[in-house]
């Protein structure tokens, strides 16, 4: 394991201290707990949106906390859930009189955390609703069982814009649901990552191999085999995506080409070019293309392709400006 | 014993904690075959800490056993933030809810606690009977306890004996169940004929309670 750390045990806390030191004007933590990450200011009457999940995916999850996006994030250990009490403490801090939306990935531990936090908030009469991202097509045939991966970007974007525009809790939830219903992702890995406290890779891939459909914690995918070209990967991924969520030939989509951590931005643009050409050949318009790191798996190499099928409402949410320490859009 | 007083409740759960510390390796080994391998750690860490978490809440709870359990259960979830940890802490919290306002536990109250505990597991785990989980030990235990408590004068001993016997039968029944959750569901064929480790943990929870009730 080659990592710039002090000790595996202090990985999360040392990282958080660094973030607060660099961005103290935009974010703070609640209740003396570094893992209760909140935006520094508060807009009275706005629906508060809270996410949470394991460390190891930056800018997911805490990087989405800021203007036009979300308000708080429970930070778990590497690939571990935050605790219900942490989410509850964040809710008490960021709640601004209009209720709380929990928006996070579809993982058992996280679901339990947020459900328990909802019970705790009930005792204080803080109204909470929940929605999970479950966009990873290859993780399961049943859409309710799928894992949440990079496509949650579009849910943050939609819910965040709606909340900032003054939408009530039902409206913010509906915006997130709209984005969820129209977003699908396919991902693939080329090399594994190492959880600091484990110290060795979480799976093995041969030098010339890739894993199609692998999850962002190294969950097994649909096949492991010889590395394909960018064009071939784009073709297979788009086939999977568009079979699961058809887009009309004159339809428009937003495209998110996301790097998993160790893949160069150059490669991401090569992939983006292939996906773009293939979409065009199918007659599908691209309203916006986003390329970069939005949901990583530490130093895993690989990428994911997310497609968000758009209508006018979703286009409005995508155009809405955001500003966080990690993500900025004017 | 006729009843368990407010200040004795942490001792009741100390017996559960002691049993899980004793069974830690056994549960971890069972879990390594069909799960994440940390079941024994979660159970021993969570239940060993629970009595002190209760004592810390005792003053604020002012004699209300339900309140003490609810608060301590919440703190427990922070200590063991894993699937099984959340199931246990929700069980303790929901069991506590069923005891709200009570300052002592008799047979009927114990049955009410077990019913709340089972309901908490079902709610948090979104599970049903027959899916090869801890619920398959806890549900029959709570039902047997409830049936025993149909007699309002029922003793603590009678209730816990009924629960323990039913939990043990529940564990045996999981041998033929097809797993629905977790890694076991992926390797369903491996679990055939083997008792579910979660159900065994559920049985140990009841056994821990009975160790206190029957031996003190």
Domains and CATH numbers, chain A: 8-180 (3.40.50.10440), 183-319 (3.30.1180.20)
Q: Model confidence over A172-203: pLDDT tens digits?
A: 999 999 999 999 999 999 999 999 988 888 78
- Residues A43, A106: contact at Cβ < 8 Å? no
Q: Is A142 in CB contact (< 8 Å) with chain B?
A: no
Q: At residue A297, does pLDDT exceed 90? A: yes
Q: Is A82 in CB contact (< 8 Å) with chain B?
A: yes
- Does the distance separating the beta carbons of B124 and A112 come in below 8 Å? yes
Least confident span in A77-81, A223-227, B108-112: A77-81
- Does the distance separating the beta carbons of B82 and A109 come in below 8 Å? yes
Phi and psi at A66, nearest 5°, equal: 160, -170
Q: At residue A27, does pLDDT exceed 90? A: yes
Q: Which residues of B touch A113 (CB under 8 A)?
A: 81, 86
Average pLDDT estimate for A278-291: 97
**Percentage with pLDDT > 90 across chain A:** 92
Paired residues of A209 in beta bridges = A226
Q: At residue A163, does pLDDT exceed 80? A: yes
Residue burial A128-161, b: 16+ Cβ < 10 Å; e: rest: bbbbbbbbbbbbeeeeeebbbbbbbbbbbbbbbb
* pLDDT at residue A148, rounded to an integer: 97
- Does the distance separating the beta carbons of A83 and B82 come in below 8 Å? no
Q: Which residues of A touch B86 (CB under 8 A)?
A: 84, 109, 112-113, 116
CATH of the domain at B43: 1.25.40.340
The reply to whether ipTM tops 0.90 is no
pTM: 0.86
Q: What is the DSSP letter of A227?
A: P
Closest by CA position to B31, among listed B175, B184, B174, B181:
B184
Helix ranges (DSSP H) in A7-83: 11-23
Distance CA B164, CA B212 (A): 13
Q: Is B75 in CB contact (< 8 Å) with chain A?
A: yes
Please state the domain count of chain B: 1
* pLDDT at residue B72, rounded to an integer: 95
Determine the distance in angstroms separating the CA of A216 from the nearest CA of chain B, rounded to an integer: 17
Distance CA B71, CA B129 (A): 28
Q: Is B81 in CB contact (< 8 Å) with chain A?
A: yes
Q: Is B183 in CB contact (< 8 Å) with chain A?
A: no
Strands A209-212 and A322-323: unpaired
Collect all residues with Cβ–Cβ distance below 8 Å to A167 and sequence separation of at least 6.
A47, A175
Strands A48-55 and A328-329: unpaired
Determine the distance in angstroms separating the CA of B12 from the nearest CA of chain A, rounded to an integer: 25
Determine the distance in angstroms separating the CA of A128 from the nearest CA of chain B, rounded to an integer: 16
Domain that holds residue B66: 4-215
* pLDDT at residue A153, rounded to an integer: 98
Distance CA B213, CA B216 (A): 6
Determine the distance in angstroms separating the CA of B206 from the nearest CA of chain A, rounded to an integer: 23
Is A200 annotated as catalytic?
no
Q: Is A85 in CB contact (< 8 Å) with chain B?
A: yes
Closest by CA position to B68, among listed B104, B44, B119:
B104
Mean of the per-residue pLDDT values for chain B?
94
* pLDDT at residue B105, rounded to an integer: 97
Q: What is the DSSP letter of A67?
A: B
Which of B76, B81, B186 to mutate: most A Cβ within 10 Å? B81
Least confident span in A78-92, A184-198, A269-283, B72-86: B72-86
Among the partner-chain residues A80, A83, A116, the one whose CB lies closest to the CB of B90 is A116
- Residues B174, B136: contact at Cβ < 8 Å? yes
Phi and psi at A225, nearest 5°, equal: -170, -175
Provide the pLDDT confidence category of residue A22 given band limits of 50, 70 and 90: very high
Average pLDDT estimate for B34-40: 82
- Does the distance separating the beta carbons of B93 and A112 come in below 8 Å? no
- Residues B94, B120: contact at Cβ < 8 Å? yes
Question: What are the angstrom distances between the C-alpha of A46 and each of A36, A43, A292, B127?
Answer: 19, 6, 29, 35
* pLDDT at residue B4, rounded to an integer: 97
């Amino acid at each position: 394991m080659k990592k710039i750390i002090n000790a595996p045990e202090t990985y999360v806390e040392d990282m958080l201290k660094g973030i607060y030191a660099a961005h103290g004007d935009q974010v703070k933590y609640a209740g003396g707990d570094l893992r209760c990450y909140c935006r520094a200011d508060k807009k009275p009457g706005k629906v508060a949106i809270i996410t949470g999940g394991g460390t190891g995916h930056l800018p997911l999850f805490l990087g989405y906390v800021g203007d036009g996006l979300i308000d708080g994030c429970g930070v778990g250990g590497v690939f571990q859930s935050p605790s219900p009490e942490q989410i509850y403490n964040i809710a008490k801090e960021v709640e601004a009189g209009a209720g709380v939306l929990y928006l996070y990935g579809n993982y058992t531990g996280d679901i339990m955390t947020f459900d328990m936090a909802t019970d705790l908030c009930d005792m204080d009469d803080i109204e909470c609703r929940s929605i999970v991202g479950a966009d990873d097509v290859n993780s399961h045939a049943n859409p309710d069982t799928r894992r949440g991966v990079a496509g949650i970007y579009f849910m943050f974007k939609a819910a965040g814009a709606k909340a900032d525009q003054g939408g009530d809790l039902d409206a913010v939830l509906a915006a997130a649901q709209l984005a969820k219903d129209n977003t699908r992702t396919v991902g693939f890995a080329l090399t594994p990552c190492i959880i600091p406290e484990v110290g060795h890779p979480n799976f093995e891939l041969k030098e010339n191999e890739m894993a199609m459909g692998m999850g962002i914690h190294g969950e097994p995918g649909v096949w492991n085999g010889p590395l394909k070209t960018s064009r071939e990967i784009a073709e297979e991924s788009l086939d999977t995506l568009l079979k699961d969520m058809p887009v009309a030939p004159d339809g428009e989509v937003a495209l998110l080409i996301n790097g998993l951590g160790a893949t160069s931005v150059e490669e991401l643009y090569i992939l983006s070019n292939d996906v773009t050409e293939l979409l065009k050949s199918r007659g599908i318009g691209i309203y916006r293309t986003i390329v970069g790191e939005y949901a990583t798996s530490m130093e895993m190499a690989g990428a994911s392709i997310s497609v968000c099928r758009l209508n006018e409402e979703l286009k409005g949410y995508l155009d809405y400006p955001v500003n966080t320490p990690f993500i900025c859009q004017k | 014993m006729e009843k368990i007083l407010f200040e004795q409740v942490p001792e009741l759960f100390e017996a559960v904690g002691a049993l899980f510390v004793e069974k830690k390796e056994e549960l971890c080994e069972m879990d390594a075959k069909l799960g994440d391998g940390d079941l024994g750690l979660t159970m021993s860490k969570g239940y060993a800490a629970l009595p002190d978490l209760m004592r810390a809440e005792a003053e604020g709870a002012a004699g209300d056993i339900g309140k003490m359990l609810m608060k301590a259960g919440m703190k427990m979830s922070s200590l063991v933030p894993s699937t099984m940890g959340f199931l246990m802490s929700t069980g303790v919290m929901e069991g506590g809810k069923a005891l709200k306002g009570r300052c002592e536990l008799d047979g009927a109250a114990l049955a009410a606690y077990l019913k709340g505990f089972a309901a908490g597991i079902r709610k948090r785990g979104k599970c049903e009977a027959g899916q090869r989980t801890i619920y398959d030990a806890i549900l029959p235990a709570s039902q047997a306890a409830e049936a025993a408590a149909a007699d309002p004068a029922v003793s603590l001993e009678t209730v816990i004996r009924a629960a323990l016997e039913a939990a043990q039968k529940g564990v045996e029944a999981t041998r033929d169940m097809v797993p629905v959750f977790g890694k076991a569901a992926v390797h369903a064929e491996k679990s055939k004929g083997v008792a579910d480790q979660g159900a065994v943990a559920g049985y140990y929870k009841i056994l821990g309670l009975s160790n206190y009730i029957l031996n003190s």
